[in-house]
Amino acid sequence: MQVFDSPKVRYIMVSTTKVDPTFLEHQKRRLTALRQEILSLRQGQQGEQKSVNAELSGQARDYEDDAQRLAAVELQDNLLVHDDERLSNVERALQKIDEGTYGSSDASGKPIPIERLKASPEALYTEEEQRQREAAR
């Protein structure tokens, strides 16, 4: 990122990463498939939860069963939160492809290494920036 100062104007020029159009198209297909996979998993989880709730209605309650179900629901909620975050990142990565900024960090504009994008197509930050964000949570 370059910052230019003048008495009348201050602006920031964010470096854009030139990414091969073939690679971009491949990543777009991967991201679209990943989005569909997350949405399908979510629908399956919701259907499973409804099925369990229907099965349990009207049955005698056992405290151990309730505790196990509560633990399972808590785990399921944690997975849903992770899926929500990942889906949000996938949507943002697809938006960045459309904007022409895919491969540049949302935080700094620094290039995200191609190897990172291949491993995690929804990556929005460099590895260092991602670690800093996770440590701040």
Domain 2-55+64-136 fold: Four Helix Bundle (Hemerythrin (Met), subunit A) (1.20.120)
Under-70 pLDDT residues of the chain = 1-17, 45-67, 69-80
- The upper half-sphere exposure of residue 59, i.e. CA atoms within 13 Å in the direction of its Cβ, equals 11
Provide the pLDDT for residue 8.
43
Pick the closest to residue 24 from 88, 103, 91, 78 (CA basis): 103
Residue reference for tokens 């099925």: 51
Which pLDDT tens digit goes with each residue over 96-134? 999 999 999 999 999 999 999 999 999 999 999 999 999
Q: Where are the domains of the chain?
A: 2-55+64-136
Pick the closest to residue 24 from 91, 92, 105, 118 (CA basis): 118
